[in-house]
Structure 1
Amino acid sequence: MSSPVVLAAVVAYFGVVSLVLGLVILPSWRERGAELAGRLLGPLRRFRPAAPKPSVPSRWQVELAAALDADTLPLRHGVLALLTAAVVGAGPSAAMLLHEHLSASADTLPRARAFDAHLAALLAGERLVAPAPLPPALFRTESMLRERPFTADANRDWDLLHPLFRQRLLAVFATARERHGYELVLLEGYRSAQRQAQLAALGPATTRAAADQSRHQAGLAADVAFRRDGRLLVSERDPWTRQAYLHYGQIAKSFGLEWGGDWKSIRDLGHVEMQAPPANPPLPVPAAAMAAAR
């Protein structure tokens, strides 16, 4: 709905309100309206039923008529004024709310189109390209060793991820960049059974999944971080990073991924995964790549 349509609706509304109020308040308008109605409905008079016999007013009707005598005229005028103000003010209020809604929709339209473009590309089978590997030193900074001490030696080979999961994750990365300006980084993707067992031995604070129980081993899970001002951000205690993870989780779920931020026990805001497609089991990891991952 465009602005001219909204303007025309407001003008039509005020016209109808003015006509109704004129018929209610002005006796001359009522007389002319009755005369016009009589002319238009004149041919139909012969079909009207016989006039009913006059009835004697009941007690409550007499009391109501007495209550509405000249002494209550100011009260009736006050109620009429309030109703008139409510009816007249409803139109502009509705127009303003509609205008604000249309403005908000116009602001979100480019973002929605960008998201739909990535989703359509994904469904059409477009193959998104994984980003170039980052320097290993970026994962060995003091803050990273403090927040994620076991990420320095993690595997970040995109080719070891399940093809469908890889494409969805890349679409999430691209959408987060266009929608919020985030630069996402893959911290860890595929895990060998040996690494999964080592992480499980560190306790539930690290992982609750033992060997052969994690979707990381099937290439169906990933942990991510944000790159900002030349460094990686992973701390969920930082307000900016936490908000970024919340945005990331919303986008990931829109692409059919499960977000670790929705877990009931120990939440992991940087973790996403997906179930293996029933008709498309996970592709086997090449032996050479698996050996390199170990």
Structure 2
Amino acid sequence: MVIAGLVAAGVWTFVQRELDFREELEMRPLPEGLHPMVGQKAEELARTAAERGIRIEITDGFRSHEEQDRLFAQGRTIDGPVVTQARGGQSYHNFGLAVDFAIWTLDGRLIWDTGYDGNSNGQSDWFEVADIAKELGFEWGGDWSNFKDYPHLQMSFGLTTAELDTGWRPEDTDRYEVLAGESE
């Protein structure tokens, strides 16, 4: 009887903690800007690329759900090419965990040309930047099989957009600790 009581108390404590945590998650506000670690890694990406003779521009970062919905409508209900497969709340941009980039040419034009080799080393500058980004902990949209998003870099920290939408944040994950340790 004592053992059953102890087990019941343990289960009740576990369930109560889980309910409290879920309630805390629901009350967390959505981010309103780029996550500091993502911003720091994007700056490091630009510096490292510049050291290899490639000048990049971060062309987009945080996006509100409304901005994301406007982009999603492009090529569907409004004129223009399709540029995203994600509605508001389905993109890591909406949680401050993604950036897009482009490359500056030697003559000062901003381009999205994945074949450009401005540093003349026989390799695509775009793919060089993607490799640097992956070394820094980014996931690259060019690696996706269903929709290649070459300008897109994200840090998911092991979280899905559905989890982020319910309140989970990078600081809640072990992956955050690993990347934070690399930043120091």
State the TM-score, normalizing by the size of structure 1.
0.38
CA 1:279/1:202 → structure 2, altered by over 3 Å: closer, same or farther?
closer
Residues 87-111 of structure 1 show CA distances to partners (whole Å, capped at 9, x for unaligned) of xxxxxxxxxxxxxxxxxxxxxxxxx
Are the equivalent residues in 2 in contact too, given 1:173–1:183 (CA < 8 A)?
Answer: yes
**Residue 216 (str. 1) matches residue 93 (str. 2):** yes
Aligned AA for 2:85?
A: R
SS for the counterpart of 1:264 is: coil
Give 1:244's match in structure 2, choosing from 116, 125, 144.
125
Which of 148, 155, 166 is the equivalent residue of 2:39?
A: 166
CA spacing shift, 1:279–1:243, aligned 2, 3 Å: closer
Trace 1:224-263 onto structure 2 (pairs within 5 A).
224-228=101-105, 229-236=107-114, 238-240=115-117, 243-263=124-144
Distance 2:96 2:130 in 1: 19
Asked whether the equivalents of residues 246 and 269 of structure 1 are also in contact (C-alpha less than 8 Å), the reply is no
Residues 279 and 268 of structure 1: is their aligned pair in 2 closer, same or farther, counting only changes over 3 Å?
Answer: closer
C-alpha contact (below 8 Å) 2:116/2:126 kept by paired residues: no
Larger Rg: 1
Aligned residue number for residue 53 of structure 2: 181
Structure 2 unmatched ranges of 5 or more: 1-31, 77-81, 159-168, 173-184
Deviation at 1:235, TM superposition (A): 2.7
Query: What number of residue pairs does the alignment pair up?
Result: 122
User: Would the aligned equivalents of 2:113 and 2:126 in 1 still touch at CA under 8 Å?
Assistant: no
Distance of aligned partners of 1:269 and 1:279 in 2 relative to their CA distance in 1, 3 Å threshold: closer
Corresponding residue of 2:150? 269
Tell me, what secondary structure is at the counterpart of 1:191?
coil
Amino-acid identity (%):
35
User: Displacement, 1:202?
Assistant: 2.2
3-state SS in 2 of match to 1:174? helix
Higher helix share: 1
Compared with structure 1, are the counterparts of its residues 210 and 184 closer, same or farther at alpha carbon in structure 2 (3 Å cutoff)? same
* Contact 1:223–1:271 (8 Å) recurs in 2: yes
- Pairwise CA distance, 1:166: 0.8
> Which position in structure 1 is the counterpart of 2:14?
none
Unaligned stretches of 5+ in structure 1? Answer: 1-158, 282-294
Separation (CA, whole Å) in 2 of partners of 1:197 and 1:279: 24
User: Are the counterparts in 2 of residues 165 and 220 from structure 1 also a CA contact under 8 Å?
Assistant: yes
Q: Residues of 1 paired with 2:85 and 2:147: CA distance?
A: 9
Displacement after TM superposition at 1:203 (Å)? 4.6
SS in 1 for 2:57: strand
Structure 1 position 279, deviation (Å): 5.8
> In structure 2, what is the Cα distance between the partners aligned to 1:170 and 1:251?
12
Letter in 1 for 2:171: N
Q: CA deviation at 1:160?
A: 2.7
Show the 5 A alignment for 1:8-87: none
Match of 1:201 among 73, 77, 93: 73
What amino acid is the match of 1:187? T
Does structure 1 conserve the Cα–Cα contact (< 8 Å) formed by 2:98 and 2:153?
A: yes
State yes or no: 1:191 paired with 2:63: yes
Higher relative contact order (CA 8 A, sep 6+): 2
Question: Within the alignment, does 1:280 sit opposite 2:171 as a pair?
Answer: yes
CA shift, 1:170, in A, is 1.0
* Distance across 1 between alignment mates of 2:126 and 2:113: 10
